[in-house]
Amino acid sequence: MTERQPLLLQSEATGSEERQPPRPDVRSSPENILVNVQSDDSYGTGSNESLEKSTYNPSLHRTLEHPTSNFDTLVHLLKGNIGTGILAMPDAFKNAGLYVGLFGTLLMGAICTHCMHMLVKCSHELCRRLQQPSLSFSEVAFCSFETGPSGLRRYSHVARRMITTFLFITQMGFCCVYFVFVAFNIKEVVDHYFPHNYISVKVYLTLILLPMIPLNLVRNLKYLTPVSLAAAVLTILGLAFSFFYILQDLPATNTVKPVATWAQLPLYFGTAIYAFEGIGVILPLENNMKRPEDFGGSTGVLNTGMTIVACLYTTVGFFGYLKYGENVKGSITLNLPPDQFISQMVRIAMAVAIFLSYTLQFYVPVNIVEPFVRNQCEEQRTKELASTALRVTLVVFTFLLAVCIPNLGPIISLVGAVSSSALALIAPPIIEIITFYPIGLGKYNWVLWKDIAILLFGLCGFFFGTYASLDQILNPGIN
């Protein structure tokens, strides 16, 4: 998910395990464009009229307040996938080698895109089966188990909780990365102009916490629209100037490693999957399109957007690592020449952009936990105080995580290996197997074998990436 445009997430996970009729969610994104919509039908009202089910078209039963065009959806898809991960791609290439990183990133992009198609396909099948206009990620997981093999139906609520939990972990991880990113970039600028006044990065983290708390007490999303716009403009400017510096005086390709060691590859996996994990926005985007039939297909919005994303990530990673070699840092902005005023402005611009984006990322974990906390209180005043305390607690929690792990590269890899791989590579094949098990998995069960291969790939990345990231965090001096 977002830095994957987190405002697209539904708040269906509120701790209640009863299946209730889903209703339209009219909460808007900062741009007031995307709205998740559900019907008033319940999941359990299965009809015995198979013909009616087979001809049911979910997109024809959606009531959209602000439907998005193909171009709007493409822009949101790009925004949902391009964040701090793109700045960490040169560091990912360092852990893979120039050519392994080149082809590995393209392959990772292809696999992640295919998993996104899988999720959309399963959503369509389950919508037709249950005659629902649309489903969210966690609802797809729930319904796949609920309508799958009878022995697995008891785990439907567990599946929904697992997806919601990993979404929560992912967004909290993003918030932690944002704290570290902002602190390191500001520290680089201050250290350059005041070299004799050394200040620990933990001091910068504390200074960032002070304005971060009141900023995240804002609950009305419409007030975040200027914040989102400012962050987007600063991000575009920062990336443009970073490209300018990266492409200056490039050395020969034989000056860097073509292939890294096996021990470093898990770190590459974690960082790369962190960058590509935009699967959380896929269903909300497709659900809110004016012409959802244009989302899939070989030349559809999804393939077009992800091709652009994969090319951008590969380009930044390839040339960033080629430019700075083994000296590349966790964010490419930290490698920009310190003696040039423009490069210092780039650091400040990206730091401010990520600082402002924190609030948008923070919306998801709050949206997941806040309903449960409010339900524990009876009076309205107590509910408001509990919500405020929750927001302050979660901000401070991400701050404490950043203080404990003030190392940008390993923490990005850890977040990617733990939560991003679970959502992008592990959950989709499981959901597809269970969804289509009752009606067949293709000739010779090729869908089953394909999904098992992707699942094993994701599990390997999950365990080995997590181990390597934790090892680097606990032993930072060992490469």
Interval 79-98 mean pLDDT: 87
pLDDT category, 193, cuts 50, 70, 90?
confident
Q: Closest Cα partner for 401 from 84, 175, 117, 66?
A: 175
Handedness of CA 149, 286, 299, 268 (dihedral sign): negative
The CA distances from residue 222 to 19, 57, 103, 119, 360, in Å, are 30, 33, 41, 30, 11
What is the reported pLDDT for 478? 55
Q: Which of 129-143, 302-316, 324-338, 351-365 bottoms out in mean pLDDT, i.e. has the lowest?
A: 351-365
Q: Closest Cα partner for 186 from 408, 344, 414?
A: 344
Polymer length of the chain: 479
Interval 122-147 mean pLDDT: 91
DSSP state of 4: B
Q: Closest Cα partner for 289 from 275, 276, 270, 302?
A: 302
- Strand partners for 289: 68
How crowded is residue 432: how many other Cβ atoms within 10 Å of its Cβ? Answer: 25
Q: Closest Cα partner for 170 from 3, 396, 29, 359?
A: 3
DSSP conformation letters of 268-320: HHHHHHHHH--GGGHHHHHHTBSSGGGTSSTTSHHHHHHHHHHHHHHHHHHHH
Helix (H, G, I), strand (E, B) or coil at 201: helix
Axis-axis angle for helices 446-474, 98-130 (nearest 10): 130
When the pLDDT of each residue in the chain is averaged and rounded to a whole number, the result is 82
- Reported as a single tens digit per residue, the pLDDT across 33-63 is 333 444 334 444 444 445 455 677 777 777 7
Distance CA 349, CA 344 (A): 9
Q: Which of 51-65, 194-208, 287-301, 461-475 bottoms out in mean pLDDT, i.e. has the lowest?
A: 51-65
DSSP conformation letters of 401-429: HHHH---HHHHHHHHIIIIIHIIIIIHHH
DSSP state of 127: H
- Reported as a single tens digit per residue, the pLDDT across 324-348 is 999 998 888 889 988 888 999 999 9
Asked if residue 9 lies in contact with residue 285, where contact means CB atoms within 8 angstroms, the answer is: no
CA angle, 112 then 113 then 114, to 5°: 90
Distance CA 393, CA 376 (A): 17
Instruction: Kindly list the structural domains of the chain, giving each domain's residue range(s) and its CATH number in brackets, ordered by start.
Output: 70-474 (1.20.1740.10)
Burial of 232 (0-12, 13-18, 19+ CB in 10 A): middle
Joined tokens for residue 311 = 């090319």
What is the reported pLDDT for 323? 93
Residue 257, amino acid: K
Q: What is the largest CA-CA distance in the chain?
A: 78
pLDDT category, 171, cuts 50, 70, 90?
confident
At residue 68, φ and ψ (nearest 5 deg) are: -105, 145
* Half-sphere exposure (Cβ direction) of 460: Cα atoms closer than 13 Å: 10
Joined tokens for residue 377 = 């209180």
pLDDT category, 221, cuts 50, 70, 90?
low
What is the reported pLDDT for 289? 87
What is the reported pLDDT for 115? 94
User: 29: alpha, beta or left, given left = phi > 0 and alpha = psi -120 to 50?
Assistant: beta
Strand ranges in 303-406 using DSSP code E only, listed in sequence order: none
What is the reported pLDDT for 222? 66
DSSP state of 426: I
